[in-house]
Amino acid sequence: MGGGHGSCYLVTNGEDGETYWAYCKKYSDAFETAFKAKVRERAGGSRNVRRENSEPSRGIEITFD
C-alpha cells in the first residue's frame, strides 16, 4: 500500500471491542493522532490503526467537525 498521503480510511479496533473508522481526505500523521485521541475518548484506547482504500462495511464512524 505504500506511504502515500492521499485519501484513505483509518480503521482500528477499540478496547471496547468495537471497530472505529474515519475518512481521511489527505492522510497526515496529525490526522491519525487526532483519530486515535477520538477513539481513546470513546473506547478507552485502540489497537493498531491501519489505512484502507475503501469504506469499511461495519463499525462506528468517527467524524471531525
pLDDT tens across 4-54, in order? Answer: 568 999 999 999 999 999 999 999 999 999 999 999 999 999 889 999 999
Pairing of strands 50-52, 19-24: unpaired
pTM of the model: 0.87
Element (H, E) at 43: helix 29-43
Between CA 3 and CA 20 the distance in angstroms is 21
Between CA 23 and CA 62 the distance in angstroms is 8
Between CA 10 and CA 20 the distance in angstroms is 8
Give the pLDDT of residue 17.
Answer: 95
The closest of 30, 11, 33 to 22, measured between CA atoms, is 11
